[in-house]
Amino acid sequence: GNYDGLNQLPSFELHIGPNNWTSVSTLGVTNGSIHEMIHVLTTNHLQVCLVKTGDTTPFISSLELRPLNNNTYVTQSGSLIAVSRVYFSPTSSFVRFDEDIHDRTWVPFSDNTTSFLSTNVSVDTSNLYNVPQPVAKTAAVPANVTHPLTLDWSLDE
- Structure confidence by residue, pLDDT tens digits, 101-157: 888 899 998 888 899 999 999 999 988 788 999 999 999 999 998 999 888 777 665
Whether 19 and 29 share a structural domain: yes
Whether 94 and 70 share a structural domain: no
Cα gap 102→129, rounded to integer Å: 9
Q: Is the pLDDT of residue 1 over 70?
A: no
Q: What is the pTM of this model?
A: 0.73
Cβ atoms within 10 A of the Cβ of 85, count? 15
Residue 135, H or E segment? helix 133-136
In this structure, are residues 143 and 113 in contact, taking their beta carbons and an 8 Å threshold? yes
Q: Is the model more confident about 135 or about 1?
A: 135
Of 82, 107, 125, which closes a domain? Answer: 82
In this structure, are residues 40 and 76 in contact, taking their beta carbons and an 8 Å threshold? yes
Whether 60 and 102 share a structural domain: no
Average pLDDT over every residue of 34-52? 88
Q: Which domain covers residue 75, as residue numbers?
A: 1-82
Whether 1 and 74 share a structural domain: yes
